[in-house]
Structure 1
Amino acid sequence: HATLAEVSTEPIERARHLALASPGPDERVAATLMTAAEQARRRGLPDEAASLTRLAVARTPDEHADRRRERCLLGSAHAYAATDYELCRELAHRVFALAPTPAQRVRACIQIINAANQALYDLDEVFAEAFAQVGDDTCGRARLHYLRAFKAHASDGDSAIAWTEAARAAVLARRGGDRSTEQVALAFQAFVGTLQGRPDADEPLTRALARPQDAGPTGGHNGPRGIRARLDFFADRLARSGAEFDRMLRRARESDDAEETVFLLCGKVDVEARAGRCDRAMEAAREVLDLAREIGANLGQVYYAAAVAEAAGGDLERGAALARESVRIAREDQDLVYLPLAWCVLGQIRHRLRDPVAAVECLSRARAIAVRRGIVDPAAIPWSVDLAEALVAVGDHDRAEAIVRDVQQTADRLGRHGVYASLSRADALLRGESGDLASAAAYLRDTAA
């Protein structure tokens, strides 16, 4: 390795050989590795950057403890960018054993939270530690409130707290001059407010979109334009939603951002399936499954998206298996975002496979989670249409009628015309079951017109 390090002209390769030739602590070797890691990061190779930084941490002498801490934090960030969440957590946890400063403890906590993705249910102590150490760092506190808003949304099932925490994050970020956190917090506040059916839900997003959009986190799936694409999907503005997802996907692929690509492909599946472009939905589903396997990401939303595609234009039994896998992962992660969505697609598939009893069970579970989370918008967790139809099939007409009336009223108030029209089909089924076939047919014709 020493000989290869001498003759190599490629900095990353040379640094790796140099490290393997010097297994003990050596600050010169550690510094060379850090330089190579930065070069790897600039080339769009976060996995190489993380690996090199991990070697640098191991080669850093004890007398340079502060450098070792900083290198752990940098390596953790590189690992997160490479979607190596295990290494991200490992390097972040190492910081706590190295007598870190309060600011370093906060950064380590944030990395651990980020690496959890949707599985935030057991991180209360990490959040408590971060808030205890953040002090008067306004920007750090803003970031923590934003992350706590997401935890309230994804794991705690408390939309009211999610709205409040996102609003608080935006105020603090603006005060501290952190435009990126302010914009994602405002966008998330708008998203949560929409789920709640708040009349003022659009206002935070309007403010966020009025600011310049950069190529960092604010330009991704959790940024203002990404959130707007999701809300456009809820409102059946599929052309604009699809165009935005395609634009963001092109950028994610150009920058080789695997995690961002995964999330955006899942959104694209939803849009293409809703638009009836089943071949494109299937193509996006295959791509996201392959990519998730390639990077080792076992994410519930990937299996959910694949199930949606199969339900739209593939094999229903395969779709049911994918939906069950999404349910399993979401339950394991206590992910209250994708668990009800997985129950919805599984219920829809069971109904189409002529098993309305199983469909009612699945869709009722989705409904219960939506109610618990305070979600009012019927487009956000689409249990209502399929549950009403399944209830008609099992002969529970009273419950079906109550759902149709209640949800149509909400859909009308929120402008969810697609949901309203789809519920008209269940309404027609109820009329038909009562023997009034002429009225059912006339009602469907009027709705279609």
Structure 2
Amino acid sequence: MASVQGTIGRDSDLASIGAFLDSADPRMSALLIEGEAGIGKSWLWRETSRMADERGYRVLASQPTESESGIGFAGLIDLLGSWVDETTDLPEPQRLALDAALTRTSSDSAFGPGAVAVAVLGVLRMLARSAPTMVAIDDPQWLDTPTRQALGFALRRLEAEPIRVVLARRTDWRPDALVEHLEVTRLPVPPLSLGATYQLLRARLGVTLARPALVRVHQTSAGNPFFSLELARTWVDRGGVADVGHLPVPERLGDLLRSRLDDLPEGTRRVLLLAAAMSTPSVKDLARATGRPVERDIARAERAGIIDSRGETVRFTHPLMAATVYDGSTAAERRMVHRELADIVEDSEERARHLALTPPVPDETLAEVLDVAASRVAGRGATDVAAIFAQRALEFTVPGDLDAAFRRATAAGELALAAGDRSRARVLFESAVADAPPGPSRAEAFRWLAELSTPLGHGLALCDRALSEAGPDAAVASRIHRTRGAIAYFLGDVPVAERHARLGVELAEHSGDDQALGMAIAELAHWTYCGGGGVRRDLFERAMALDGSAGAASPRSHLAKVVMDNDGHVEARGLLTILLEETMETGDLHSASTHLFHLAELDVWAGDWPSAIEHAEESLQLRQHLDQPGAPLYVEAKARACLGDVDRARRVAEAGLAEARRAEDVVFCMQNLHVLGFVELSLGNHEAAQARLGEATELMRPRWSREFGDCHMVPDEIEALVALGELARADDLAEWMDEVARATGRAWTLATSARSRALIQAARNDLGSADATLERALAAHERLPMPFELGRTLLARGIVQRRLKRRAAARETLERALAIFEDLGASLWADRARSEVARLGVRSGAQAGLTPVEQRIAALVAQGRTNGEIAAKLSLSRKTVEANLSRTYRKLGVRSRAELAATASSTHGSTT
């Protein structure tokens, strides 16, 4: 039951909470209890948990404190510690990661934060299947970073589950990202009325204030119940004079709380400071820290209403009390307290946390304590905390111990990188190489710096320096060559990338590391394809036999990308779907983001632009701290451009271009420039289109000229050039495309190069040749599952046929293009096709009521084709085929496929 004093003045708030919990909406939603410090948020939060429990909810609750915010997964232990045994069906990698995070087991294996995040998602789904579930957090600003990241990952992916999220937070804290994606019910906690304040003081303190005193308390506290109680308690402590106005009452709550502390002996204040600095203070630990019994101090603090001790546990009566005690001490006092606590706490992680809050004093023993804690915490997946501990270990290292300094700087750098802090990682690796002697270890640190270099071009010199120091260490040299090759690829220099990949393979052959050799061979196969060498299945098969992992750099991932770029869309989608499932199961979110990005590219090419946007946004969320953040931006921008959302497409592509320029990433500069040019082309702004597309082409052509891969900007530039009358450059680019098409035989290159050539022929009024060339393009399209490209080729041919005075054929071709554009949602291109159809005028004839698409569908029905077969034949969706059939039945007055077939057969001759 709710306490009597708690319910005073809160009936409407409790009613709102009840309505939230009783909502029939099955989707996940959130309740945000907001108010100033001391207003009663925590009490309402506890009441929400109690009411949820009474309604059959499974309540996962956490009340983090500031002193716990530096402990990895402290909040997760609160939330899931008592429920995790009910989720035995988790995949083993997730179960092991979760057990490690919750300190239920210890393991020599290290788990990444992604593995824990995926495990949390699995746990919440399983719990929600058996009962409605509530995640309740009081003061979420104090959640430790690993818990916040894991919980945020899970909550963003839970939509249909019966889960309620309840957060109680102060209004002066920024909105919480944990619930920003949810439907949020806000419950601002109002101040108490004068009458409610009177009832509160009477119920809680057993005092009845005279009206002048009550009014002064209410006015000074502004109806804040905690402040009101403190003011009234001061009134009682000072003798209960009739008018609080006669007392020197502080106007601010902080001043009032500090005055309460000032009334206590110095020794008691010292005990309270120790308690405020600890995550879980106990009487035993406080006695050890002070070196004397502390029971009398605890009793004094309890009588003053500052703490509440039950058994061996000591807790502050309100978070404000702990904050006042801690913040009221000097920085020197706090450092001293943490240093003393580091000597008495037993848990290695807790000890490291206290050491991390003290000034570093060179001490190898303490540095080793931090080393051990960093390793332990990293093993649990809390890389943010581990990175802090590792850096502090470096700061505790004895000057002159260069080996230890190098080892700790590189370890801290790798942990900072794993935590997503690339800037700090760069500083730490620079520290590592500063005083280290030349050799393979320092070469490896230089390689890390090369991978972190911005702009990318700086990494080439760092790789060269690393190679000069690698010496005979084949494994290190192989990794350096592979890094240099990858940098060269993103700088657009494919021949150099291929050369270094080959050297990486040769060195990896001697390293004895099968996985490294497999990745090196896969990279060689990838860069070879980009250089025009085709899909080297032999190399990929060898690589996958050595390394069957699912990571972003694995042979299977490289194969999926190459197959995708070579028009093998069905095979690539199957590979990427499996890779995504595997990496999500193990929590390899870096790799999952890459697989999602490539799926988004496939979605764009397949014309499923809403899915492309969804996949791109999800990829971007997963790679917030990763390299190449601009990659998903270009895919999202292209999808939005195809849908006609040109303003948003421009904004997203400009952001991606700015990021790519900053990094000197030529690949994604080209891609974002392509999107910006395509936007202008779609709008008919040919001069602006050519400026963007020409820049993209000029970045690509000098060093990446034998295979187009996923770089699709050249046909678009040719179209813009033709519209501008710049046929000489258009001819030059078309000849390049023809040459690559003949060499590779790729369907995309054959189809788009033929369309480009036909546009030039039509511009020169060679309409017969243009029509024949477009016929060849359409033949290539039969092998290309890219309906939007097909629609563009049909549009071009329809215009040529109109100019040839072949009106019936032109109408059929243009309306087929229009149907494709409408089916895809390509609004700007549908408008263009519609205007071309309108130029043909009104049809005549027996079936003038049927569009050419409807006529073709009717003819295929007459041939006995199914709707699925018709959709595949005409590159339409089944839904579009069914809609056209319904209209055809209505127009012809038939009711069945048999009647339609008979009618179509009898009139077919008059429609050609």
Q: TM-score range by the shorter chain?
A: 0.7 to 0.9
The answer to whether 1:231 aligns with 2:231 is no
- Secondary structure class of the residue paired with 1:373: coil
Deviations 1:24-77 (A, max 9, x none): 223333222222222222222322222211111112222643222211111111
Q: Which of 383, 387, 395 pairs up with 1:58?
A: 395
Contact persistence 1:73–1:95 (CA under 8 A): yes
Equivalent pairs, count: 442
Structure that is richer in strand per residue: 2
Q: Partner letter of residue 161 of structure 1?
A: V
Q: Indicate the RMSD between aligned Cα atoms, in angstroms.
A: 2.9
Deviating more after overlay: 284-293 vs 7-16: 7-16
Separation of aligned partners in 2, 1:240 and 1:352: 31
- Secondary structure class of the residue paired with 1:230: helix
Describe the shift of the 1:419–1:13 C-alpha distance in structure 2 as closer, same or farther (beyond 3 A): farther
Alignment of 1:242-253 (within 5 A): 242-253=573-584
Separation of aligned partners in 2, 1:101 and 1:397: 57
Separation of aligned partners in 2, 1:123 and 1:399: 35
Contact persistence 2:547–2:554 (CA under 8 A): no
- Who is 2:496 aligned against? 161
Q: Which of 45, 48, 73 pairs up with 2:382?
A: 45
Q: Which of 312, 317, 321 pairs up with 2:647?
A: 317
Q: Partner letter of residue 386 of structure 1?
A: D
Q: Partner letter of residue 352 of structure 1?
A: S
Separation of aligned partners in 2, 1:275 and 1:418: 13
The answer to whether 1:387 aligns with 2:717 is yes
Deviation at 1:188, TM superposition (A): 1.6
- Who is 2:443 aligned against? 106
Describe the shift of the 1:425–1:21 C-alpha distance in structure 2 as closer, same or farther (beyond 3 A): same
Describe the shift of the 1:298–1:136 C-alpha distance in structure 2 as closer, same or farther (beyond 3 A): closer
- Who is 1:36 aligned against? 373
Deviations 1:208-249 (A, max 9, x none): 1232424xxxx4222211111111111222222223323333
The answer to whether 1:265 aligns with 2:596 is yes
Describe the shift of the 1:368–1:41 C-alpha distance in structure 2 as closer, same or farther (beyond 3 A): same
Separation of aligned partners in 1, 2:350 and 2:584: 25
Separation of aligned partners in 1, 2:736 and 2:471: 47
Describe the shift of the 1:4–1:287 C-alpha distance in structure 2 as closer, same or farther (beyond 3 A): farther
- Who is 1:24 aligned against? 361
The answer to whether 1:328 aligns with 2:658 is yes
Q: Which of 365, 368, 379 pairs up with 2:698?
A: 368
Deviation at 1:351, TM superposition (A): 0.5
Contact persistence 1:249–1:261 (CA under 8 A): yes
Alignment of 1:159-238 (within 5 A): 159-198=494-533, 201-214=536-549, 219-238=550-569
The answer to whether 1:347 aligns with 2:683 is no
Separation of aligned partners in 2, 1:9 and 1:246: 46
TM-score normalised by length of structure 1: 0.88
Separation of aligned partners in 2, 1:243 and 1:430: 38
Deviation at 1:256, TM superposition (A): 4.1
Separation of aligned partners in 1, 2:405 and 2:488: 33
Contact persistence 1:194–1:201 (CA under 8 A): yes
- Who is 1:140 aligned against? 476
Deviating more after overlay: 48-57 vs 34-43: 34-43
Contact persistence 2:677–2:691 (CA under 8 A): yes
Deviations 1:88-139 (A, max 9, x none): 11111111333445233112112211223x7321234422331222111111
Alignment of 1:66-81 (within 5 A): 66-81=403-418
Separation of aligned partners in 2, 1:61 and 1:250: 46
Separation of aligned partners in 2, 1:72 and 1:309: 43
Q: Partner letter of residue 544 of structure 2?
A: L
Contact persistence 2:439–2:469 (CA under 8 A): yes
Describe the shift of the 1:304–1:9 C-alpha distance in structure 2 as closer, same or farther (beyond 3 A): farther
Structure that is richer in helix per residue: 1
Separation of aligned partners in 2, 1:69 and 1:381: 42
Separation of aligned partners in 1, 2:478 and 2:713: 35
Deviation at 1:9, TM superposition (A): 7.3
- Secondary structure class of the residue paired with 1:376: coil
Deviating more after overlay: 130-139 vs 327-336: 327-336
- Secondary structure class of the residue paired with 2:509: helix
Contact persistence 1:282–1:313 (CA under 8 A): no
Deviation at 1:86, TM superposition (A): 1.0
Describe the shift of the 1:312–1:50 C-alpha distance in structure 2 as closer, same or farther (beyond 3 A): farther
Q: Partner letter of residue 532 of structure 2?
A: G
Deviations 1:413-439 (A, max 9, x none): 313202322344444545555273897
Higher relative contact order (CA 8 A, sep 6+): 1
Q: Partner letter of residue 119 of structure 1?
A: P
- Secondary structure class of the residue paired with 1:377: coil
Describe the shift of the 1:318–1:7 C-alpha distance in structure 2 as closer, same or farther (beyond 3 A): farther
| Gap regions ≥5 residues in structure 2 | 1-337, 783-912
Separation of aligned partners in 1, 2:356 and 2:528: 52
Q: Which of 443, 450, 459 pairs up with 1:123?
A: 459
| Gap regions ≥5 residues in structure 1 | none
The answer to whether 1:419 aligns with 2:419 is no
Deviating more after overlay: 248-257 vs 281-290: 248-257
Contact persistence 2:362–2:398 (CA under 8 A): yes
Q: Partner letter of residue 263 of structure 1?
A: T
Q: Partner letter of residue 395 of structure 1?
A: G
Q: Partner letter of residue 350 of structure 1?
A: E
Deviation at 1:199, TM superposition (A): 5.3
Contact persistence 2:463–2:481 (CA under 8 A): no
Tell me the percent identity.
27
- Who is 1:287 aligned against? 618
Separation of aligned partners in 2, 1:446 and 1:233: 20
Separation of aligned partners in 2, 1:37 and 1:259: 22
Larger Cα-atom Rg: 2
Q: Partner letter of residue 323 of structure 1?
A: A
Contact persistence 1:44–1:255 (CA under 8 A): no
Deviation at 1:12, TM superposition (A): 3.0
Separation of aligned partners in 1, 2:652 and 2:715: 21
Describe the shift of the 1:252–1:46 C-alpha distance in structure 2 as closer, same or farther (beyond 3 A): farther
- Who is 2:74 aligned against? none
Deviation at 1:191, TM superposition (A): 1.5
Deviating more after overlay: 204-213 vs 358-367: 204-213
Describe the shift of the 1:445–1:261 C-alpha distance in structure 2 as closer, same or farther (beyond 3 A): closer
Separation of aligned partners in 2, 1:123 and 1:283: 33
Q: Partner letter of residue 229 of structure 1?
A: A
Separation of aligned partners in 2, 1:200 and 1:242: 17
Separation of aligned partners in 1, 2:582 and 2:344: 37
Q: Partner letter of residue 345 of structure 1?
A: V
Q: Partner letter of residue 354 of structure 1?
A: G
- Secondary structure class of the residue paired with 1:62: coil
TM-score normalised by length of structure 2: 0.45
Separation of aligned partners in 2, 1:175 and 1:290: 39
